[in-house]
């Protein structure tokens, strides 16, 4: 009888141990999810649509400083094992020369934060998504690395993390086997600051709320018509250019 009781006690202890271990293993996941759903006190609102207007005439370096600032802010592009064409590339400088006029223009090209983003449409899991305020992002936790969004993006704005990474920037986590692109420095925008590339070319770039008629960007867009890259695709980009 005593033996039976002893066995029962051991069994209870063992089961209790398993329950505690399971709880300990699951708790961080559950807590992370709860914390992640609403990282700041305020929810993101669709009353705002963030956008950027780049005046290529005022960009003396054609956007080099903007690209460098992005690289520094997010730490992409120096992956030790990847070949050049496999390196992270959130932004790049593109130069085009008109065939008829020989006019040459350089501009930075990054995610254009489309209103109708093809990358979001094609993503099988919903990892590519557009926040209510118009910022197009990749949820690194549910990106399965299928790269469909990369083929769908008309701007070549996305890259794939081809290797394990170390020493990442805490505010801009990146992960092997997932797709990434310009996130409009969402961590800075949420803290009320401007994206790093905008700060690097403050004379040439206006960042602001496209939905607010009194914002500088809206007024500037009303004053002179700005262009979209591949406007023919009807994606209504959040990044606009003057002088292209």
Partner 1 sequence: MQRTDFHEIEISSRRFYSILVTLAGVLVAAAYAFFYMESQGHFVTGMNNQVVWGLPHVVAIFLIVTASGAANVASLGSVFNKPAYQPYGRISLVLAMSLLLGGLLVILLDLGHADRLIIAMTHFNFDSVFAWNILLYSGFFVIMGLYLWSIMDRTATAKRCYQPLAYLGFVWRFILTAGTGSIFGVLVAREYYDILMMAPLFIASSYLIGTACFSLVLLLLYKLEGRQLSEVIKSRLAISLCLCIVVVTLIELARHLLNYFIMGYTAVEVFVLRDAGAVTLMFWLGQVVIGLVLPIILLYLPSVKRSRLAIASTLIMLGGLCQLYVIIIGGQLQPLRLFPNAVTETSGNLDIAYSASLPELMLSLGGVAITLFVFTIAVKVLRLTPANS
Binding site for partner 1 (CB under 8 A): 64, 67, 77, 79, 81-87, 89, 92-100, 109, 118, 120-127, 142-148, 150-156, 158-164, 176-179, 229-230, 233, 244
- Considering the complex, what minimum distance in angstroms separates the CB of residue 160 from partner 1? 6
Paired tokens of 82: 């990847």
CA–CA distance, 94 with 25 (Å, rounded to integer): 48
When the beta carbons of 95 and 216 are compared against partner 1, the nearer one is 95
Question: Is residue 96 classed exposed, middle or buried when 0-12, 13-18 and 19+ CB atoms within 10 A define those classes?
Answer: exposed
- Considering the complex, what minimum distance in angstroms separates the CB of residue 5 from partner 1? 42
When the beta carbons of 93 and 188 are compared against partner 1, the nearer one is 93
When the beta carbons of 130 and 218 are compared against partner 1, the nearer one is 130
When the beta carbons of 165 and 196 are compared against partner 1, the nearer one is 165
- Considering the complex, what minimum distance in angstroms separates the CB of residue 132 from partner 1? 17
Sign of CA dihedral 78, 240, 221, 135: negative
- Considering the complex, what minimum distance in angstroms separates the CB of residue 237 from partner 1? 12
When the beta carbons of 84 and 213 are compared against partner 1, the nearer one is 84
What is the edge-to-edge ordering of all strands in the sheet holding 205-209?
205-209, 50-55, 239-242
Under 8 Å CB-to-CB from 199, ≥6 apart: which residues?
69
Residues in the chain: 244
**Maximum distance among all alpha carbons in the chain?**
100
- Considering the complex, what minimum distance in angstroms separates the CB of residue 59 from partner 1? 13
């Amino acid at each position: 009888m005593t033996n039976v009781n002893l066995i029962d006690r051991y069994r209870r202890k063992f089961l209790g141990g398993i329950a505690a271990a399971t709880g300990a293993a699951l708790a961080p996941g559950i807590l992370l999810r709860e914390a992640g759903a609403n990282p700041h006190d305020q929810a993101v609102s669709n009353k705002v649509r963030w956008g950027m207007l780049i005046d290529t005439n005022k960009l003396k370096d054609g956007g080099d400083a903007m690209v460098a600032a992005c690289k520094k802010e997010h730490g992409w592009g120096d992956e030790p094992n990847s070949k050049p064409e496999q390196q992270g590339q959130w932004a790049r400088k593109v130069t085009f020369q008109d065939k008829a006029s020989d006019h040459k223009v350089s501009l930075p090209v990054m995610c254009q934060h489309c209103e109708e983003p093809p990358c979001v449409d094609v993503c099988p899991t919903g990892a590519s998504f557009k926040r209510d305020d118009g910022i197009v992002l990749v949820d690194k936790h549910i990106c399965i690395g299928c790269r469909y969004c990369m083929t769908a993006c008309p701007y070549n704005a996305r890259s794939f993390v081809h290797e394990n990474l170390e020493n990442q920037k805490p505010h801009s986590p990146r992960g092997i086997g997932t797709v990434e692109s310009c996130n409009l420095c969402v961590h800075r925008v949420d803290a009320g600051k401007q994206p790093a590339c905008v700060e690097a070319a403050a004379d040439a770039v206006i960042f602001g709320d496209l939905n607010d008629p009194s914002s500088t960007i809206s007024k500037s867009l009303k004053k002179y018509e700005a262009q979209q890259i591949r406007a023919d695709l009807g994606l209504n980009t959040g990044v606009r250019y003057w002088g292209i």
